[in-house]
Amino acid sequence: MPAATQQTIVPNIWSNSVAEEQASFYADTFRDCSFEISARYPEHGLPEFQQGMAGKPVTVDISLAGTQLVLINAGPEFEPNPTVNLMLNFDPVLYEDASKYQDEVFAKLSDGGIVMMGLDAYPFSEKYAWVQDKFGVSWQLILTNPEGSPRPFVLPSLMFCGAAQNKCRQAVESYIDLFSNSGWGTVAEYPQPTGPAVAGSIMFSEFQLAGQWLTAMDSGADQPFDFGEGMSLMISADGQSEIDRYWSALSAVPEAEQCGWCKDSYGLSWQVVPANMDELMTRPNAYEHMMQMKKLEIDKF
């Protein structure tokens, strides 16, 4: 199993009060997957809309083939959609029986879910599928060629559509400028207009932010959704000055600012949190203090 490393950017998945069940499902679906409850709601002092969550998990941390994911255990306010999804890289370098493993994962993820693109050969891959699991999380499963430089098993993936259609290149360039140790990898453009995608917009791209691989694309079909809070990207910031820098660059929607959450000018949701967040949340009344903040301020915990 690949070793987990500290990530600067961690995908967060909103779960409608079933985070433990959902984490167990992923642990059963994947070979290299484990989880632990990382925080619980306090027994007392919750606002009225959260009182039913007293003592239950707030977050469940997942390690999937060395990549960190977080399930946020909350109410029905938000749900994931395919704009932020997870691409799974079935590379024979990572798994000798990559094709067989891909079949196994597809069968489990599609059970009770929605198959958006069937497991089949496509011009860009000899074996690929896109499926939304029964919890609403979208996964791309791609069988890759081991000849290229290696990529991790899990790559957070962004699909620019709706209000953000054809803005993939502009957005990714802004993210690359924001994070150190960042840059483009492979970029493939639409050679001609395809649905709402204009010629020259991005059909597929891979890029690194803070040394972490992600993918992004402009949608080639009209979609009934935009970026939302159902899946967000959490940044682990080293100290208040770094929190301030990320917040200043990313927060473009004042009404979305709450408890470290913000939205950028493309509608993508981010969480900007201190690297020592776990320690801060052990302080007296930390949860109540956090609920009163927009941008997180370490000295106020």
Q: Write the pLDDT tens digit of every residue in 113-127.
A: 999 999 999 988 999
The enclosing domain of 129 has a CATH number of 3.30.720.110
Domain boundary among 153, 187, 218: 218
In degrees, rounded to 5, the angle at the alpha carbon of residue 16 between the alpha carbons of residues 15 and 19 is: 50
What total number of domains does the chain contain? 2
Domain boundary among 190, 218, 246: 218
Contact 191, 247 (CB under 8 A): no
pLDDT in tens, 101-112: 999 999 999 999
Quick one: pLDDT band at residue 154, thresholds 50, 70, 90? very high
Identify whether residues 134 and 180 lie together within a single domain.
yes
Looking at mean pLDDT, say which of 44-48, 255-259, 287-291 comes out highest: 255-259
How many angstroms separate the Cα of 168 from the Cα of each of 38, 252, 279?
33, 17, 36
Kindly tell me if the per-residue pLDDT of 5 is higher than 50: no
Range of the domain at 143: 84-218
Cα–Cα dist 289/296, whole Å? 10
Would you state the torsion angle of the CA atoms of residues 116, 121, 125, 126, taken in this order, to the nearest 10 degrees? Answer: 140
Contact 214, 207 (CB under 8 A): yes
Nearest to 139 by CA among 167, 172, 102, 188: 102
Report pLDDT for 2: 39
Identify whether residues 70 and 194 lie together within a single domain.
no
Report pLDDT for 47: 79
Residue 42 identity: P
SS3 245: helix
Cα–Cα dist 289/298, whole Å? 10
Is position 1 within any domain?
no
